[in-house]
A = this chain, B = another copy of it.
């Protein structure tokens, strides 16, 4: 057990604490720092890092965004969106809009998978044969078609 966590106000965290709370290991934090996805935290005189507590949230976000299919580079973009938000709003806006569309596309496709899987579950509940595979058709077809569908749904062109 760490002998730390004292210090009263919990103002800053050390690497092992951030790592544990965020569910990654210490090396990963350094890795992210090297990659520029985590800002370099202030150091003590000794060189020890002193992370601000919100680092934990940031790292958790990074992990989760990766599980949602974003690369570290993309996660970095997402994180930066907010920092630069009001400055040069025009350029940022474009990026944000693109990301938003990407996210909506992911949601649509996951909904399709969900539907197929639900049907699968129902079907195998009722013991009747599954006609053909809905999950594949829905999703694999969608890369081309769904963009059209989306355009129709939204009513606006791209």
Contacts and interface: CB of A to CB of B under 8 A. Distances in A.
Contacts of A123: 85
Give the number of times this chain occurs in the complex, counting copies: 2
Contact of A100 (B70, B117, B125, B158): B117
A79 B124 contact: no
A69 to B, nearest CB: 4
Contacts of A133: 82
Interface stretch (A29-37, A45-53, A88-96): A88-96
Contacts of A69: 66-70
Interface of A: 1, 5, 20, 23, 54, 56-61, 63-70, 78-79, 81-82, 85-86, 89, 92-93, 96-97, 99-100, 103-104, 106-107, 109-111, 113-114, 117-118, 120-121, 123-125, 127, 129-130, 133, 135-137, 139-143, 157-158
